[in-house]
Amino acid sequence: MSKKPSAIADIKAESAVKATDYALAPINAALSSTQRIELYRTMIRIRRFEERSLRAYQGKNPSGGTNIGGFLHLYIGQEAVAVGCCSLMGKNDHVITAYRDHGHAIAVGMDTKPLMAELYGKITGCSKGKGGSMHYFAPDKNFWGGHGIVGGQIPLGTGLAYALKYQGKKGAAMAFMGDGAVNQGAVHEAYNLASLWNLPVVFVIENNGYSMGTSQARSSAGQLAKRAEGYNMTWGQCDGHDVYEVRALMDKHLTLAREQSRPSTVEIDTYRYRGHSVADPDNTYRTKTEIEEYRNKKDPIQVSLHKLLAEGVLTETLADQIDAEARAEAESAAEFADASPYPTPDDIQKDVYWESDHPAQRKSEGRLFFD
């Protein structure tokens, strides 16, 4: 990104501010200066966390191995979506998402140290090094993953909404998916059940234009969110580069879920600058020019920064300070991850069964594990 560690330097002259100013929507107008800054801060914390994780992924550790194995699906460019949506969560609202989950995890309030440690495969990771990048979970933050199979989490998210309704709790589930997921059968089965049973769920399609390396035009017929109409669900669509716009739209849909127990679908247009995963060469299906266009004109952090400066909420000095803190936090998370121990072979068979982890309360008999 920028050469010197200044958020201000990232601002391009053409940074777009939309004509429709969603900052005036009641849900945004009510935000205090501190709250506005926090939205910005969370976005930049996600960005710096992921940039740091990318360096760790690409670098070697001192023993010559890799710091991070497997896949690393970066959210860079999409931060306003998770931050906007999760900033609206109340105590009975729940989130579930797919494998591009770092942004959601930070947005619901997970500490970045165990998140980075999870990437490093350390026992101090949020899933004790058992899940990896795609499988972050924090039930104490109402965050239910982090799921690896495209669309497979959407029935689960619908089940969270079912549980809320069964338990008589006034809340909503947000079930996030990418644009590629809308073609999976499980998503459509979940749509049908949610609408049929009046479940308080918002299906959030983060449309970054590409299902892995296949563009929307080559993978999906029609407008993605409009498929909701076939299930008698309302739907909405917005620009996901402006955190205020995301919040304005999501607020309506969450209210529908919480107040009327009706599901709906939203399609939030966004863009990822990096490949589908870091392993993706990213030069076969889109142009560098296209990526630069988004970076220069629609970057959610720049859009937000520009607005906050214009609103007089943020000063250049404070913006630089927030960025420096986010970089320091990411560095500190990497140091924590680096210094943490790996799980041991003895840990492999822990956390498999509730019963084997609670031997004193075990009621079944016989062998649970085999060799």
Partner 1 sequence: MPQITYREAIRHALAEELTRDPNVVVMGEEVAQFNGAYKVTDGLLATFGPTRIVDTPISEAGFIGLGVGASMLGIRPVMELMFWSFYSVAFDQILNNAANVRYMSGGQINCPIVIRGPANGGTNVGATHSHTPENVLANHPGVKVVVPATAYDAKGLLKSAIRDNDPVFFLENTILYGDKGEVPEAEYVIPLGKADIKRVGADLTIVTYGRCVIHSLKAAEVLEKDHGISVEVVDLRTIRPLDFDTVLASVKKTNRVLIVEEQKPFASVGTQLAYMIQREAFDDLDGPIHRLATIDAPAIYSPPVETEQLPNPGRVIKAVLAAMA
SS3 159: helix
Q: Which of 32, 287, 317, 364 binds partner 1 (CB under 8 A)?
A: 364
Decide: is 160 part of the binding site for partner 1 (CB under 8 A): yes
Dig out the tokens for 275 from the structure: 């490949």
Determine, following the binding rule CB under 8 A, whether residue 170 of this chain makes contact with partner 1: no
Dist CA 270 CA 207 (whole Å): 6
Q: Which of residues 280-319 bind partner 1 (CB under 8 A)?
A: none
205: β partners? 177, 267
Record the tokens describing residue 287, joined without a space: 């142009």
Binder of partner 1 out of 128, 295, 297, 306 (CB under 8 A): 128
Nearest distance from residue 162's CB to partner 1, in Å?
A: 5
The residue among 8 and 163 lying less far from partner 1, judged by its C-beta, is: 163
In whole angstroms, give the CA distance from residue 32 to residue 347.
Answer: 46
Cβ distance to partner 1 smaller for residue 234 or 356: 356
109 sits near partner 1 (criterion: CB under 8 A): no
CA atoms within 13 A on the CB side of 289: 0
Check residue 94 for interaction with partner 1 (CB under 8 A): yes
Q: Are 107 and 86 in contact (CB under 8 A)?
A: yes
Instruction: Identify whether the C-beta of residue 323 lies closer than 8 Å to the C-beta of residue 5.
Output: yes
**Least distance CB 96 / partner 1 (angstroms):** 7
- What's the CA gap between 325 and 329, in Å, rounded? 6
Please identify, using beta-carbon distances, which residue of 4 and 363 lies nearer to partner 1.
Answer: 363
Query: Is residue 139 involved in binding partner 1 (CB under 8 A)?
Result: yes
Identify the H or E element spanning 96: strand 94-97
Stretch that binds partner 1, among 61-69, 190-198, 280-288, 300-308 (CB under 8 A): 190-198
At residue 157's C-alpha, the angle toward residues 154 and 163, to 5°, is 145
Instruction: Identify the residue among 70, 148, 209, 213 touching partner 1 (CB under 8 A).
Output: 148
The residue behind tokens 């906050």 is 308
Output 114 or 240, the one with its CB closest to partner 1.
114
Residue 57 has φ and ψ, to the nearest 5°, of -65, -40
- In the sheet with 173-178, reading across from the earlier edge strand, the strands are 143-146, 94-97, 173-178, 201-207, 264-269, 234-239
Binding flag, residue 135, partner 1 (CB under 8 A): yes
Q: Is 196 near partner 1 (CB under 8 A)?
A: yes
Least distance in angstroms from the C-beta of 263 to partner 1: 12
Q: Cβ 116 to partner 1, closest distance in Å?
A: 15
Q: Does 126 bind partner 1 (CB under 8 A)?
A: yes
Which residues contact partner 1 by CB under 8 A?
Answer: 94, 96, 125-131, 135, 137-139, 144-149, 152-160, 162-164, 166-167, 185-186, 189-190, 192-193, 196, 349-355, 357, 363-370
